[in-house]
Amino acid sequence: MTVLVTGSAGFIGAATARALLERGQEVIGIDNLNHYYDPALKRARLDNLGRQFGNRFGFEQVDFADADALNRLGDDHRFDGIVHLGAQAGVRYSIEHPAAYVQSNLVGHCNMLELARQRGTRHMVYASSSSVYGSNKSLPFRVEDRVDHPLSMYAATKKADELLSESYSSLYKVPLTGLRFFTVYGPWGRPDMAMWIFTKALFAGEPLPLFNRGEMRRDFTYIDDIVRGIVACLDSPPADDGSLKAGGSTSPHALYNIGNNRSEDLMRVVELLEQATGKKALLSPEPMQPGDVKETFADISAIEHDHGFKPTTSIDEGVPKFVAWYRDYHKV
């Protein structure tokens, strides 16, 4: 089975492409290699895949907000499944740059749904986000919870993606699975995320910006666990049998939280980073950032029940693995 992976130069996209290639599948990756963060990191991820898997991994620089470009891609390649992980990510950036989210996450998501419909794709798994829960007070967050009060444009576009997906699944019976990711971290991670920013500051001897004075809790999920969950979902499209799916649809559309099912104190992560880097952190307490949420915590019972998903990597194990990779990549 050939799989189209969008955002294949990104953190989760490259790791997912690798897992599919490792089990012998062919992967077509697309990405527009935008400059939201250093494209050299994106190219390095792609180079690794190309080196290791040769022409079983095909890459094309395509913007999925461009419907014509996607049509040409569909004419040139056959694929049975889609893992749609490309997006404009980041809560803080969305406050200043809302248009980028409309383009990639709304126009782009519609285009991907249309591609899946027109090409009769067996199943499309797509990325949503824990940010859709906004400031929901009831923890852990459950897929059945109402999510009508997004705190950022990023969260609003991810929620909109879920709604657009539901209509495609209901009208055209396109099998879809949406995954609400909870703070993913690990080797080849994202430079705009706290764990990377803190590690960089530790090695540079600079203060760590602690939003909400460090009083934050996150359900941190290790990349290998996330990838296992994505692949397990891809293998089992939701049935078009009218039965109730996780998230409440009776169409072939399931929605899952995918997290570690543990809400960790941010300061615990700082401690683990100090141990792994051998550096003492200088702390810079900052106010809460607009759009940010204080706590996330995933109820993962639905994905556990339907796909046997069980995260196995604690932050005690995962943080040192990230730091080891960071040292190697940056030669620090």
Ligand X SMILES: NC(=O)c1ccc[n+]([C@@H]2O[C@H](COP(=O)([O-])OP(=O)(O)OC[C@H]3O[C@@H](n4cnc5c(N)ncnc54)[C@H](O)[C@@H]3O)[C@@H](O)[C@H]2O)c1
Task: List residues binding ligand X (CB under 6 A).
Answer: 7, 9-13, 30-34, 42, 63-65, 85-89, 104, 108, 127, 129, 181, 183-184, 190
CA angle 258, 260, 261 (to 5 degrees): 95
Q: Which residues of 118-147 are buried (b: 16+ CB within 10 A; e: fewer)?
A: ebebbbbbbbbbbbbbbebeebbbbbeeeb
| Separation CA 26–CA 156 (nearest Å) | 33
**Least distance between ligand X and beta carbon 280 (Å):** 27
Closest separation in Å from C-beta 278 to ligand X: 26
- Euclidean distance between CA atoms 203 and 75, whole angstroms: 48
Q: Residues, the chain, total?
A: 332
Min dist. Cβ of residue 108 to ligand X (A): 5
Cβ proximity to ligand X, 183 vs 277, nearer residue? 183
Quick one: 163 or 244, whose CB is closer to ligand X? 163
Q: What angle do CA 45, 123, 10 make, to 5 degrees?
A: 15
Q: How many CB atoms lie within 10 A of CB 243?
A: 10
SS3 of residue 24 by DSSP: coil
**CA atoms of 114 and 70, how far apart (whole Å):** 10
CB atoms inside a 10 Å sphere around CB 263: 19
Rounded Cα gap, residues 79 and 4, in angstroms: 6
Dist. CA 57–CA 18, nearest whole Å: 9
Give the shortest CB-129-to-ligand X separation in angstroms: 4
Residue nearest to ligand X (CB): 10
d(Cα 136, Cα 150) in Å, to the nearest integer? 10
Given 154, 168, 222, 256, the catalytic residue: 154
Q: Is 154 a catalytic residue?
A: yes
* Minimum distance of ligand X from residue 208's CB (angstroms): 19
For residue 201, the minimal CB distance to ligand X (Å) is 19
Dihedral sign computed on CA atoms, order 83, 77, 108, 12: positive
Is 310 within 8 Å of 303 (Cβ atoms)?
Answer: no
- Using an 8 Å Cβ cutoff, are 124 and 237 in contact? no
> Which residues are marked as active site?
154
